[in-house]
Chain A
Amino acid sequence: MIRYIIKRLLWLIPIIFCVAFIIYALIDLAPGTILDTISTENLSPEEYQQLVEQYDLDKPMIYRYAKYMLNLLRGDLGRGEATGLDVWREYTSRFPATLKLAIAGLIIGVALAIPLGIIAAKNAGTWVDNLVTGFTMIGISMPSFCLGLILIICFSYKINIFPAGGFDSGIRSMVLPAVASGLLMAGTTARQTRSSMLEVMRADYLRTARAKGVPEKRVIRKHALGNALIPIITSIGNTLAIMLAGSAVVESVFSWPGVGRLTVQAVNSRDATLTCGCVILTCIVFVVLLLIVDLLYALVDPRIKAQYTAKKRKGEKKHEKS
């Protein structure tokens, strides 16, 4: 298991190298440089050239990338080219807000999606199933921008029970952005739950359980849901990872100070260092989260746990032989 974790974490190294290269290449390809976001009105040609050299814009993209990677190897994410602020500090100051929002969204999403998916699967083909499918389709297809504004109009503007934006009213501030993220997540996860449950519910062992007189609730909760959990966990893990990367749209609509907005602002300023830093840190969060999801499989599925154990035994035997 530990070897597996280390192996997965080591994969981060080439991923970071690739991601940083892609970011640098994209920023290089995008029209405009950081110098196009500042005023050069009173600069003499020499002073302008100094700025070009300061930002290494006179050198090829690969040079800037290599320079960045060398600093990164020393553990230095650098300072934003536009603001001069420390990238690590900027990211970490916003990450807690994104984390809170993602967890709140996850709770709402899971609380809605799993029961809805189970209900839809149990009543497959009936009007209940159609109703749930309709709901999930809305969740999947409605743009988060639109959903966010609808929530603000209904619950903030019309009945004023939750704030429209900001972060300073504690849990109240979090409700609307979390519901917006959660509903979007609920759509995909409910559909995943429904299809997984449908597959499992046709299985022979459920029929056997029922024939043995196991109560229906127990059949669904323990035998069906337990076996359908793997794809659901994958779906939840992926969505959570995306949410942790920061939903720039939800954060913008609700003026939530998260990493998504930071990344968008960095791109708008053509700030390669900040953009790259944000993407790399997000990438690490993503990989770690997906690793946790993989490890969770072992918890919910004894067969996977057995695989890990078998590999371990095999390794020990090899070691003994040698």
Chain B
Amino acid sequence: MKKVIAMALCAVLLLCLFSACSGKESNTPTPPAETSPEILEDKTTVVGAEKQEDAKYQESITIICDNTQMAVLDPASPQGGGQGSLMNFNCIHDTLVENDNGTLIPCLALKWDVEDSQHYTLYLRDDIYFHNGEKFTADDVAFTIEHAKAAKGGQAFNRLSVVDTVEVIDDTTIKITLNRPNNDFLYYLYSPVCSILNREACEKDPEKGPWIGTGAWIVEKFVSNEYSELKVNENYWGEIPVTKKLRFIKVAEEATRYMMLMNGEADVAFGCSPADFDSIRSNPEFNLYTYVICNAGFVGFNMTDPLMQDINFRKAVACLLNRSDIIKGTRYGYGAAPTSGAFWGYTTPYKNEDLPLQDYDVELAKEYLEKSKYNGETVELCAWIPEFKTICQILQAELMNLGVKAEVFETDQAGFMAHCKFDDNKSQIVCTSGGWTGYPSSTAPFFTKGSTSNVASYVNPEITELLNTAVSTKDEAERERCYKEVQRLAYEDCVYVPVMHIQHGVGAAKNVGGVILTEENTHDLSHVFKIIS
């Protein structure tokens, strides 16, 4: 009898095994058609349902953030650059200016005078109050700049450290002098990390003071890297949101994000996996908004490594990048191949489209390799972002096909940054993604001595000079020339080779609207709503 049961169990197991091998169509999503990727129509795009008269709106909306940091609600903090934090800043705080598709428009600053790209005078609104009832004045702007400059290593520091002196003329006028001319300075101010804080609140309580803003939402509860609960600011100076409560939750797992969206636990989900894009898109109850943000995935070469200093070897590697396979293999086809060989943000101005993109060419790679100094040593490929670890593996296979021994070093962010530290760069080939913004000077960190973004430890005095000229000149043509020249020089040196621009996806219930997506991944959900009838 026991034998019979054992045999029956074995038969059931075998049947299960065979059923798994059936010819049934797999659930693996098919890559999108070979069309140009959906991008944001503009630098900022409002997506979702339209507001309707006499409509009823859902009181509370839950938004899922991706797995980046939502560690603090202090815009100046070095840990405040994650998507979740930035979305919170947009809701809680206001900035001095706003970006309306590349044009600066007033926000807390009504107007401004620019004397010579170094001296800026801002005229502020005098009818704004913080959540704690304090009136917004020029002194709060001065405090915000001081606070950002003190928080070294933060995104706000990176933008506001160019400020030399701040002079509060009166409650509504402030004069800012930069340490050198900078035409992009006002563009720095629209970033949510430059949100205006209240001096009194921050000095009274350094931990919770930065939660006090002038924005449309008031913080009710915040648990670092977990969730935030906001309630609407009924005294908001601008348009008061129709939604009464907002909740941002950080959900680590992509699968959980997807399922929370699908079963209605969340109304909007950022950071959806490309594997789920088709499923969300095909569901009539949901919308999927895909967009390519203004950054670039690239392969970089450590210019302090003897082998990587050989341009023939670098060019050989550049010839082995099969971008269409990489995009399919890492993002199910949801990515955009670079439009030119320029190492530049996807929509950053002054992109040099005249530089031809090196196509996948194994024969050419062989030629370059023969000319190179490669001598049979093992080459290391390093990455920390999951997609880029896969790119390393693809590149490793390509290199090994050509007889180059290659190994992949996978690590976490801190490990990666330590490995590729400018002064002590131990890497050889790195695959990672770099962030740009809508203003061209955001490219400078990739070429700046000591910068964390400069993973190639690459310094070209000519590029440094061109970048300095570009940011300080008022002559538009000269700026364009400088930036395009920077791209040409970097292209010729073949230090950073663009691979792809990642296409992100946001899933939202069909009747959700008011989601403002931005090219810099600093999405504004302060006026998000959900129509219930």
Contact = CB atoms under 8 A, between A and B. Distances in A.
B223 A94 contact: yes
Contacts of B418: 31-33, 36
Contact of B259 (A33, A38, A164, A268): A164
A236 B252 CA distance: 29
B331 to A, nearest CB: 21
A164 to B, nearest CB: 4
Interface in A81-131: 82-86, 90, 93-94, 127
Given A40-B452, A163-B263, A166-B249, A268 B413 contact: yes
A171 to B, nearest CB: 15
Contacts of B416: 32
Interface in A1-52: 30-43, 45, 47-48, 50-51
B36 to A, nearest CB: 32
A165 interface: yes
Nearest to A152: B259
Interface of A: 30-43, 45, 47-48, 50-51, 82-86, 90, 93-94, 127, 149, 152-153, 156-157, 160, 163-166, 168-169, 252-255, 257, 261-262, 265, 268-270
B77 to A, nearest CB: 7
Given A166-B260, A253-B252, 18 more contacts: A32-B415, A32-B418, A36-B415, A37-B413, A41-B158, A41-B453, A47-B152, A84-B72, A90-B224, A163-B265, A164-B256, A165-B259, A166-B265, A253-B253, A255-B249, A255-B252, A261-B226, A268-B412
Contacts, number: 153
Contacts of A47: 152
A256 to B, nearest CB: 9
Interface stretch (B113-121, B311-319, B443-451): B443-451
Contacts of A39: 78, 81, 153-155, 158, 452-453
A57 to B, nearest CB: 12
Of A163, A164, A169, A252, most B-chain CB atoms within 10 Å: A164
B249 A35 contact: no
B263 A33 contact: no
Nearest to A270: B414
Contact of A31 (B155, B249, B411): B411
Q: How big is the B interface, by class?
A: 35 or more
A165 B77 contact: no
B151 to A, nearest CB: 9
A267 to B, nearest CB: 9
Contacts of A268: 412-414
A257 B223 contact: yes
Given A48-B450, A261-B252, A157 B225 contact: no
B391 to A, nearest CB: 21
B152 A41 contact: no
24 contacts: A31-B415, A36-B414, A37-B78, A38-B154, A39-B453, A41-B445, A42-B161, A42-B162, A43-B153, A83-B224, A84-B206, A85-B207, A85-B224, A86-B207, A160-B263, A163-B265, A164-B256, A164-B260, A252-B253, A257-B226, A261-B226, A262-B225, A268-B414, A269-B71
A157 B77 contact: no
User: Top 9 A-B pairs ranked by shortest CB distance?
Assistant: A32-B414, A32-B418, A38-B153, A36-B417, A38-B78, A257-B226, A31-B415, A164-B259, A41-B445
B43 interface: no
Contacts of A30: 414-415
B180 to A, nearest CB: 12
B445 A254 contact: no
A287 to B, nearest CB: 26
Contacts of B445: 41
A149 B253 CA distance: 10
Interface in B1-33: 5
Q: Which one of A33, A90, A156 has the greatest number of beta carbons of chain B within 10 Å?
A: A156
Nearest to A266: B225
B158 to A, nearest CB: 5
Max chain B Cβ within 10 angstroms of own Cβ: one of A36, A51, A269: A36
Nearest to B262: A157
Contacts of B162: 42
A212 B448 CA distance: 89
Contacts of B154: 38-39
Contacts of A42: 157-158, 161-162, 451
A49 to B, nearest CB: 11
B260 A165 contact: yes
A261 B263 contact: no
Contact of A35 (B153, B260, B411): B153
Interface string B429-455: 000000000000000010010111100
A43 B416 CA distance: 19
A241 B52 CA distance: 54
A43 B451 CA distance: 8
B488 interface: no
Contacts of A82: 71, 78-79
Contacts of A41: 158, 445, 448, 451-453
Interface string B71-98: 1101001110100000000000000000
B255 interface: yes
A177 to B, nearest CB: 11
B231 interface: no
A38 B250 contact: no
A255 B57 CA distance: 27
B40 interface: no
Contacts of B413: 32, 36-37, 268
Contact of B251 (A51, A157, A255, A269): A255
A165 B414 contact: no
A262 B411 CA distance: 20
B212 to A, nearest CB: 16
A90 B81 CA distance: 20
A156 B452 contact: no
Contacts of A253: 252-253, 256
Interface in B139-194: 152-155, 157-158, 161-162
A152 B158 CA distance: 42
